[in-house]
Amino acid sequence: MSWNASLPLLVLASSLVPGLIIFCLPEEKQRTRTTLNLVGVLLKLALVTFMVWGVQQGEHYETRIPLLPGLDFVLRADALSMFFALLSAVLWLATTIYAIGYLEDSPHRSRFFGFFSLCVTATLGVALAGDMITFLLFYEMLTLATYPLVVHRGTEAALRAGNVYLAYTVTGGALLLAGMVWLHTLSGPLEFTANGFLAGLARDHAAALVAIFVLLIAGLGVKAALVPFHGWLPQAMVAPAPVSALLHAVAVVKAGAFGIIRVIHDVYGIELAAELALTGPLAGLAALTIIYGSLQALLQNDLKRRLAFSTVSQVSYVALGIAIAGPVATIGGIVHLVHQGLMKITLFFCAGNLAETLGIHKVTEMRGVGRRMPWTMAAFTLGAFGMIGVPPMAGFFSKWFLGSGGLDMGQPWVVAVLIVSSLLNAAYFLPVLRAVWFEDPPEAWPAERSFGRSETSLMLLLPTLSTAFSALAVGLLASMPLSPLQWASLVASLEYRP
Amino acid sequence: MMLSQMITIVLLLAGAAFFLAGTLGLLRFPDVYTRLHALTKADNVGLGLVAAGLAIQAETWAAMGKMALIWLLVLLASATGAHLVARGALRRGIPPWTAR
Amino acid sequence: MNAAMLYALTGAGLFALGLYALAVQAHLLRKIIAFNVMGSGAFLVLGALAHRAPDQVADPVPHAMVITGIVVAVSATAFALVLMLRVQSETGQPHLPEQPSD
Amino acid sequence: MDGAVNAAAWAFDALLVLTLLWLAWRVLMGPDLFKSIVFFIAFGLVMALAWVRLRAPDVALAEAAIGAGLTGALFLAALSRLAAGERIANAKRPVENSDTGKSTRPHRGVRMVFIAMSALFFGGLAAALLSLPAEAPGLTIQVAENLSTSGVSNPVTAVLLNFRGYDTLLEMGVLFLAVVAAWSLTPAPKEPVSPPGIVLASFVRVLSPMLLLAAGYLLWAGTHAPGGAFQAGSVLAAAAVLLLLSGKDMKANWPEWPLRVVLGLGLGVFIAIGLVMMLIGHRFLEYPLDYAGDLILLIEVAATLSIGVTLAALFLGGRPQRDERK
Amino acid sequence: MGTLSPDSPWTIWVIFSPLAGAVFTFLWPRRARLAVPLVALGTVGSVACLVWQVAELGVQSHALGGWAAPLGINLYADGLSAMMLLTTALVGAAVTFYATEYFRRASETARYFWPLWLCLWTALNALFLSWDIFNLYVAFELLGLAAIALVALAGSADALTGAMRYLLVSLLGSLTYLLGVALFYSTYGTLDIGLLGDLTAPSAASWAATGLMVAGLLLKTALFPLHFWLPPAHAAAPTPVSAILSALVVKASFYLLLRLWLEVFPVTAAGLGHLLGLLGALAIVWGSLQALRQTRLKLLVAYSTVAQLGYLFLAFPLALSPVAATAWSASVFFILSHALAKAAMFLAAGNILRFAGHDRIAELGRAPYGVSLSWAAFGVAGISIIGLPPSVGFAAKWLQLEAALAGGQWWWTLPIVGGGLLATAYVFKIISCVFSQNGRTSGTNGISWRMEWTAFGLSLAALGIGFAAPQLLALLNSGTPLALHEVGSAP
């Protein structure tokens, strides 16, 4: 196993091994657990950045283990996988610090952080997967790793939410499996190859390919929370804040969206997808989800459920961008992966801070919170503006590219959808901001806890501010060579090479 | 040669007659004790006659000896058996049949 | 329809009778007796079919199989009887309790 | 002349078959359990006659000794223990009526279904049997050819202990397993032994040596005439059962450990000889030509002892009492 | 004597080391603690050598007593038997290690557990190697009696009634099988599977024999309508015994059915194949639904066995298509994966039962913290039962789906995928207990680390062996038992 072959495995091991050790740690070993966590995350970040730099230089990292005759377990680092891996590694650092602060004295922390590390391993595995069977392996591992996090509190509601979550995601996994086996019987090995490996089959298996596409997208749609399959997302809000941040900004939802990108770009290829008229209905479904998600968010009084529905609509931007195809829209779709990640994780951190320090869960209880927790609310405002798409926040750029991409491809209705959704975003964020900053606070907060001089514990505040600041920075420095925007355009250009 | 076959046939028929008598006794007699008599006595004699008849046909002395041994053992076994059955019946309190 | 076939059919008949009794009787001892009758029937089928040609000497292999079968049957019966007595001592009656409908 | 003889043979066969079926019916459907068991013993003996008619003397011996004799004794012993268990159970809950084996029947509809099913089964089986080709393509010729090198002249013993020795070994395993299983379940139930009358005691004193002699004879005859380890073993077991029934407390004077050794002896010797054959380069259980007869006899002696004690231990119905106190 | 490939001694050691062990442990029970590990090592070692020989040199056979096929009995080890022996050795060794700890206190039952278990192991190895249908009957009977005695070892009322019901079913199955043997012998004059395979032609007698044998074997394999005896017996038995029963004993009769279906039965009627497939599908649905309904942990796991057995029978209809090889290797993989995972599940359930003092699912809530490793084992084994990657169960499910789709019978994918979902439901019904608040446990007697690590080790094996799938397929291929030309590669 040469260095290039073992690097992807090392990336996975860097969180798997600490995770397994943490499982065996007794509850009171707080310090060792925290150091293990941080060492794991930092090591992973270093390895991923090294790999990013390696891929930049043209190195080829690939691990291959034969799994079944004709099918191998492949981990490969290409432009798109590095894009998602870097996002996961960075946001995982923030979420880990936040989780350590959030779960200060709650029970079962060893169990929590054990599954937390398994989750990051699964996400990295999804990012680095080189063929569909490896993708499925880590996709299912993600389900198994996140279920214990969703039901971590053990309350009746948590268990019910866990069951709903399981029902959706395992059914999704089953559909994905069926689609993959069918594809395997038609086309043999399922390696991801730039713009698809099914070109030859289009002539005589057209109907089968369409059916397989529906199965694959349905399987991935569950995790990407497309409309008919999004039911589990709002219910999973019963989980602790770092888990909801994890699920919505980084791991589960993005794995689904990432899978859709892989299927369209590296399994079917853009031309074949367009030729079989698959992208049209997908675009429609994505648009429907965007509108529906925003509308539902409007009606929710619970802050985390509102953010959940906003995620449902935001993730479909990625699907929309990919479905419209064309170089500009693809850039918009891919870059939104990162932008939405940064903004949504900030919002969830703020929601967590509010719940943890003041016991606020409902939007109506947030009147005048700005005076009590100015920094958190500043981050919240930045995140909200990003969601609405106010320049120079990151959200603006992805919407800009999506809109212009849609126009280039002669799909004007895309711009209309973007405008309507931006208005809806504004409708469910601006009144909250107004209440937060300009109304006077109630006499007593529901469950106030004081943290000395600073408004809340630093472990909670710092990650929130850093992700808010990075969302802003990504927007401002979009033109810099190493910004996510440039990276996304590099990925898109690989896709559209003549 | 004919003579030995003739004797065997006569003996076998006599034996069969005794078996018939024993079976008739078994069916007709009123209680367990009397039936025991019919069975042990009549059938044993019948068996003796049959064994003798077959012994004549047997070639070697050893075979004839085995026939006799069979008859002897059956005699012993049925006597003990009858005794045990009668004792068991008495212990269970079945009254012997009286003429009146 | 020579004699051997007659015995073979009897064997089949005994097997069917035993099967019926096994299904109908509830008492465990009667079920075990039914198994013995079925066993004898099956061995009779096996043994009789070995002797279909009246002139030749009978085929010894089925005889060996039947002897093995009889010994296996007696050991299974002995074990079944001991188990039945244990069932009676534990549940108080030598029947299988009504199976909860599943 | 032979027309009359084979007509008589036919008549005898028909009569025998009818008795068999009638006895089977009485055994299975008879109301009283004790009568069913007595009929079962009669059924076993008539079955032995059937085997004689099918020119299978070895099987007839086995059927009479094991099928009728020993199994019948096992059933009678089980019945008496059942009644004893019933009395204990009733003592604990007096109200429920004890049926001592009255054959409880499901109602008519279900019985009709079962009758139809077993009739259908019989029909199918009979059709298959009748469709069999007339001539019997058995292994008679192969056995006859190799009989000379098998070390014994009785074909059945040759098949049992040489050609298909592995079958017999596994079967000894089944016997061994039955004893271990019975011992694992219960300690031997304590029988209220009524004092034997002088008649029975003297009869037993006369008969036991005869039985031992008969067992030895059967074992020895097995090499060239019907007989062999299993028949001899069951006669030995019959002697042991007789001793048990006549009040001799076999458990008292039998130290527990040698009993285990004898139980494991048959199987142990068989495996040992098989493995020794392997060590000297032959295949498993492949006896060298000139020692075949002696090896088979050695196995048969060990097997007879082991089978006799095993069947007696099974009659006891549980592990020996002394085992508990240790 | 016969001209056969070199007689491998390993086939003999595989059968006779456990048998010798059984006799030894019966004669000197107090020295069992020393003898059992040696015997287990000897058996596993000889199985490993035999499997290595089969993988390297192809089929190994041994003419017992020196007599060739028609007269004597042959032992025959090809890919299929090697896989079954490997599974038995793996699970057997783990259960032996577990049982030395489980029976440490109950020395009275331990005295009889060892001879019975080693006899069972002998019967399994003998069954997988024997190439003679009557010898299979005797091995089958030995297997049945040993299993029933082990179930009755628990001594409780339902264990005894379960054992009795199992005994009646086992005797009925063996007798019908024996009738089948009688018919086959009297029509073709030989008992050797290889020779029979060449001679059998469809005729009334061979149809009747096939029907009888299939009926007897279905009864013993507890396929859907005939499964009533399995759950009470497997649930009431002592923990190591339930693991052995669910993982190995039920598979032995399926192996026999598979072997006879491939080699002996005249022409496998499409109708019978589809019937078995349908019953398999019903078994999956019915077993899973019943498992969901159970309130006791061990009964739930037992019903899950009934469901998982359904997967094995789906291979029969799938094998009627050109992709028969994939279908058969899928069911052999299912046997391996279910054996490992179910043994792990039962051992874990046993640990939880012994720790919590009861196995009522509703009150298992606070139990986990004394036996967290057993819960982990239960979870990881659940992954393999559901068939999630990278477990062996997933490899089996993938091959079976492929056989269904490539063979053109797409409708069989419904029970396969549906079964996975139902399995998720009842596995997570238990796993959610770990996270729930309520539940009352006594949590008194401690569980030794050996018992927990055995369960966890088995479940990890079920998960990890998925990566060894290509080597296992190569092993399965040697001697082309399943008429495998090339497996798994797409048409």
The predicted structure's pLDDT at residue D323: 45
Q: In a 3-state reduction of DSSP, which class is residue C90? A: helix
Higher-pLDDT residue of E423 and A207 is: E423
Instruction: Indicate the angle between helix axes A394-408 and A413-438, nearest 10 degrees.
Output: 160
Distance, in angstroms, between D99 CA and closest chain E CA? 20
Q: How many domains does chain D have?
A: 1
Give residue C66's pLDDT band: very low, low, confident or very high (50, 70, 90): very high
Residue A167 pLDDT > 70, yes or no? yes
| Touching status, chains A and B (3+ beta-carbon pairs under 8 Å) | no
Q: Which of residues 146-185 of D touch E (CB under 8 A)?
A: 146, 162-167, 170-171, 173-174, 176-178, 180-181, 183-185
The predicted structure's pLDDT at residue D101: 47
Determine the average pLDDT of the residues in A174-200.
Answer: 84
CA-nearest residue of chain C to E137? C69
CB contact under 8 A, D103 and C71: no
D216 and chain E in contact, CB less than 8 A:
no
Q: Is C12 part of a structural domain of the chain?
A: yes
Give residue D306's pLDDT band: very low, low, confident or very high (50, 70, 90): very high
CA C80 – CA C71 distance, rounded (Å)? 14
| Touching status, chains A and E (3+ beta-carbon pairs under 8 Å) | yes
Percent of chain C with pLDDT over 90: 59
C touches which chains (3+ CB pairs under 8 A)? D, E
A450 and chain E in contact, CB less than 8 A:
no
D185 CB neighbours in chain E (<8 A) are 149, 152
Closest CA to D285 of D275, D274, D293: D274
Lowest mean pLDDT among B50-64, D213-227, D240-254: D240-254
CB contact under 8 A, E228 and C84: no
Distance, in angstroms, between E181 CA and closest chain C CA? 9
Give residue D24's pLDDT band: very low, low, confident or very high (50, 70, 90): very high
Distance, in angstroms, between D46 CA and closest chain C CA? 11
The predicted structure's pLDDT at residue E445: 58
Give me the half-sphere count of Cα atoms (radius 13 Å) on the Cβ side of residue A187: 24
The predicted structure's pLDDT at residue A326: 79
CA A479 – CA D4 distance, rounded (Å)? 118
Q: Is C44 part of a structural domain of the chain?
A: yes
Q: Which of residues 64-93 of C touch E (CB under 8 A)?
A: 65, 68-69, 72, 75-76, 79-80, 83-84, 86-87, 90-91
Determine the average pLDDT of the residues in A407-412.
Answer: 83
CA D171 – CA A60 distance, rounded (Å)? 64
CB contact under 8 A, D210 and B73: yes
| Residue partners of E350: CB distance under 8 A and separation at least 6 | E102, E238, E239, E240, E242, E243, E298, E451
Query: Could you state, in order of their start, the residue ranges of all structural domains in chain B?
Result: 6-92
The predicted structure's pLDDT at residue C99: 60
Residue D136 pLDDT > 70, yes or no? no
Give Cα A105 distance to the centre of its chain: 28
Closest CA to E22 of D188, C71, D175: D175
D199 CB neighbours in chain B (<8 A) are 79-80, 83-84
Give residue E489's pLDDT band: very low, low, confident or very high (50, 70, 90): very low
Closest CA to E366 of E446, E452, E447, E441: E441
Residue-range definition of the domain harbouring residue C30 = 3-91
| Residue partners of B39: CB distance under 8 A and separation at least 6 | B22, B25, B26, B78, B82
CB contact under 8 A, A67 and E466: yes
Q: Is C61 part of a structural domain of the chain?
A: yes
Owner of token pair 């003889």: D5
Using CB atoms, which residue from C52, C72, C83 is nearest to E167? C83
Residue range D150-192, pLDDT digits in tens: 888 888 888 888 888 899 999 999 999 999 999 888 887 777 6
The predicted structure's pLDDT at residue A483: 75
Residue E136 pLDDT > 60, yes or no? yes
Average pLDDT value for chain E: 86
For residue D319, the cross-strand partners are D187
- Contact between D132 and E209 under an 8 Å Cβ cutoff? The reply is no
Give a three-class secondary structure readout of chain D: CHHHHHHHHHHHHHHHHHHHHHHHHHHHHCCCHHHHHHHHHHHHHHHHHHHHHCCCHHHHHHHHHHHHHHHHHHHHHHHHHHHHHHHHHHHHCCCCCCCCCCCCCCCHHHHHHHHHHHHHHHHHHHHHHHCCCCCCCCCHHHHHHHHHHHCCCCHHHHHHHHHCHHHHHHHHHHHHHHHHHHHHHCECCCCCCCCCCHHHHHHHHHHHHHHHHHHHHHHHHCCCCCCCHHHHHHHHHHHHHHHHHCCCCHHHHCCHHHHHHHHHHHHHHHHHHHHHHHHCCCCCCCCCHHHHHHHHHHHHHHHHHHHHHHHHHHHHCCECCHHHHC
Burial class (CB in 10 A: 0-12, 13-18, 19+), D213: exposed
Determine the average pLDDT of the residues in E74-84.
Answer: 89
Residues from B in contact with D at Cβ < 8 Å: 73, 76-77, 79-80, 83-84, 87
The predicted structure's pLDDT at residue D257: 81
| Touching status, chains D and E (3+ beta-carbon pairs under 8 Å) | yes
Give residue E248's pLDDT band: very low, low, confident or very high (50, 70, 90): very high
Q: What is the DSSP letter of E360?
A: B
The predicted structure's pLDDT at residue E485: 33
The predicted structure's pLDDT at residue C100: 54
Average pLDDT value for chain D: 84
Determine the average pLDDT of the residues in E49-73.
Answer: 84
Residue C74 pLDDT > 60, yes or no? yes
Q: Is D164 part of a structural domain of the chain?
A: yes
Higher-pLDDT residue of A203 and B38 is: B38
Q: How many domains does chain C have?
A: 1
Q: Is C98 part of a structural domain of the chain?
A: no
Residue range E425-442, pLDDT digits in tens: 999 988 888 777 654 454
pTM: 0.90
- Helices then strands, counting H and E runs in chain E, come out as 19, 2
CA A150 to each of CA A166, A416, D187, E18: distance values in angstroms, whole numbers, following the listed order: 10, 36, 55, 49
Give me the half-sphere count of Cα atoms (radius 13 Å) on the Cβ side of residue D148: 2
Please name the helix (run of DSSP H) or strand (run of DSSP E) that holds residue E63, with its range, or none.
Answer: strand E60-63
Residue D204 pLDDT > 80, yes or no? yes
The predicted structure's pLDDT at residue D324: 45
Determine the average pLDDT of the residues in E270-287.
Answer: 90
List own/partner pairs for A207-214 with CB under 8 A and 24 or more apart: A208/A182, A209/A268, A209/A272, A209/A276, A210/A276, A210/A278, A211/A182, A212/A179, A212/A182, A212/A183, A212/A186, A213/A179, A213/A263, A213/A268, A213/A273, A213/A276, A213/A278
C2 and chain E in contact, CB less than 8 A:
no
Residue D38 pLDDT > 50, yes or no? yes
The predicted structure's pLDDT at residue D253: 57
Residue-range definition of the domain harbouring residue D261 = 154-326
For chain A, what percentages of helix, strand and coil (3-state, to nearest 5) are there?
A: 75, 5, 20
* Highest mean pLDDT, choosing among D111-115, D302-306, D313-317, E66-70: D302-306
Give Cα D201 distance to the centre of its chain: 26
- Contact between E374 and E351 under an 8 Å Cβ cutoff? The reply is yes
Closest CA to E405 of C22, D156, A494, A205: A205
C99 CB neighbours in chain E (<8 A) are 165, 228
- Which of E130, E132, E160, E212 to mutate against chain C (most C CBs within 10 Å)? E160
Give Cα D268 distance to the centre of its chain: 21
Q: C69: domain CATH number?
A: 1.10.287.3510
Q: In a 3-state reduction of DSSP, which class is residue C77? A: helix
Give residue C96's pLDDT band: very low, low, confident or very high (50, 70, 90): confident
Please state whether the peptide bond connecting residue E470 to the residue before it is cis, i.e. omega within 30 degrees of 0: no
Distance, in angstroms, between E468 CA and closest chain A CA? 7
- Contact between C14 and C37 under an 8 Å Cβ cutoff? The reply is yes
Q: What is the DSSP letter of C27?
A: S
Q: Is D110 part of a structural domain of the chain?
A: no
The predicted structure's pLDDT at residue E4: 42
The predicted structure's pLDDT at residue D254: 63
CA-nearest residue of chain E to C61? E71
- Which of B76, B78, B85, B92 to mutate against chain D (most D CBs within 10 Å)? B76
Lowest mean pLDDT among A136-145, D87-96, D222-231, E103-112: D87-96
